[in-house]
């Protein structure tokens, strides 16, 4: 397997990010697809060196299981194997989240599929997208830095995904796989951040009270002095 052309993957630069490209054996196809998966930034404070990117790319390929003899045997098997990407196409036609869903949520799901999910899992057999593979996917999403661009392609800034966004992305993966597959999973998405309680400073309270009139001034003075809720 290690001598098969391109099977180890190739690390390349795409804009401000490192990507790893690799070949995947797909049942019934002579030509192997070559997906590209983001690894991490190649510029900025948190940039990865090429050796670091190559090590990370090798870890991603190993986690996907596309470089194993078992994967090749499945691909050469005469029995049809449904890939994750094929399951997505089925969902687009028949799953109620797409057929009965509102345009906004459908656009969000399609964006997450195109940018994050299908590049990672699209060419893999459904049974390869298990709890371990998704947990590693979550960890990579938490570490990754992404680019925000204008419609004309001009660079705006880099950003990291929030825990809520990653949770939504995993939700789409689960939607495609079906509850029977993931109902026993115990994914670790990390602890949610504790939002800081908003409050008015003493100076802001003074300005609010002094700019109010009549009964509202009395009400605001009462609330500020007693810390009562409205």
In this prediction, residue 223 carries a pLDDT of: 87
Nearest-5° Cα angle at 61, 58 to 66: 140
In this prediction, residue 1 carries a pLDDT of: 42
Please answer whether residues 29 and 57 qualify as being in contact, where contact means their C-beta atoms are separated by less than 8 angstroms: no
In this prediction, residue 58 carries a pLDDT of: 85
31-69 tens-digit pLDDT: 777 787 888 898 888 888 989 988 888 888 777 766 666
> CA 183, CA 201: separation in Å to the nearest integer?
47
pTM of the full structure: 0.56
In this prediction, residue 6 carries a pLDDT of: 47
Q: Under 8 Å CB-to-CB from 213, ≥6 apart: which residues? A: none
Provide the token pair at 13.
């630069």
- Residues of the chain below pLDDT 50: 1-3, 5-6, 78
Residue carrying structure tokens 């670091």: 52
């Amino acid at each position: 397997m290690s001598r098969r052309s391109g099977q180890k993957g190739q690390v390349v630069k795409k804009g401000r990010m490192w990507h790893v490209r690799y070949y995947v054996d797909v049942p019934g196809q002579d030509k192997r697809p070559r997906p590209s998966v983001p690894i991490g930034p190649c510029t900025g404070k948190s940039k990865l060196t090429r050796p670091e990117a190559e090590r990370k790319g090798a870890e991603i390929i190993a986690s996907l299981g596309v470089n194993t003899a078992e994967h090749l045997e499945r691909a050469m098997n005469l029995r049809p194997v449904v890939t994750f990407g094929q399951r997505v196409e089925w969902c687009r036609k028949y799953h109620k989240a797409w057929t009965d869903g509102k345009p906004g949520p459908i656009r969000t799901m399609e964006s997450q599929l195109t940018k994050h999910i299908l590049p990672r899992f699209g060419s893999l057999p459904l049974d390869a997208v298990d709890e371990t593979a998704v947990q590693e996917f979550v960890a990579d999403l938490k570490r990754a830095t992404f680019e925000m661009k204008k419609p004309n392609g001009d660079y705006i800034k880099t950003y990291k995904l929030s825990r809520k966004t990653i949770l939504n992305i995993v939700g789409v993966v689960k939607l495609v796989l079906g509850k029977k597959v993931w109902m026993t999973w115990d994914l670790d998405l990390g602890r949610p951040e504790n939002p800081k309680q908003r409050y008015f400073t003493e100076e802001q309270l003074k300005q609010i009270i002094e700019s109010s009139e009549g009964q509202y001034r009395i009400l605001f003075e009462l609330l500020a002095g007693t810390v009562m809720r409205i």
